[in-house]
Amino acid sequence: MQISQGRKTITLGDETVEMLCTPRAAMRLSDAFGGLLQAQQRCIGLDMTAIVAVINAGANRAGDAAKRTEAQVFAAGLQDVAGDAIEFITLLCNGGKPRGESAPADEGAEGNGQS
């Protein structure tokens, strides 16, 4: 597993899957589960449908590739892959940045940036 700004790379079997933090991925999951928190809670509960949906949304998988995700997640083990899905949702909730990391401040700004 590898994380860089706005993306998370996981391995499912012999395939490397790159998930990208995009507004589309966030909306897809939010619409499917009634919010990102609900999607994350279902992943915590090892809900395979949710875990597969997170990977498919992040990797923008559809069709045969999306169907293949189910078998890959099952073979990898739900407990192992759930952590990756949860971490990806956390990145989505933070605009693609790791939790606790904020955007860099303006170099010339002082205090709260107001005069």
Residue 14 exposure: Cα atoms within 13 Å on the Cβ side: 0
At 26-84, the pLDDT tens digits run 999 999 999 999 999 999 999 999 999 999 999 999 999 999 999 999 999 999 999 99
**What's residue 102's pLDDT?**
59
Which pTM does this prediction carry? Answer: 0.81
The residue assigned the tokens 């069709």 is 63
How far is the CA of 76 from the CAs of 7, 38, 48, 80, in angstroms? 20, 23, 12, 7
pLDDT surpassing 50 at residue 19: yes
Domain boundaries, the chain: 2-93
Kind and range of the H or E element at 18? strand 15-20
Kind and range of the H or E element at 75? helix 63-76
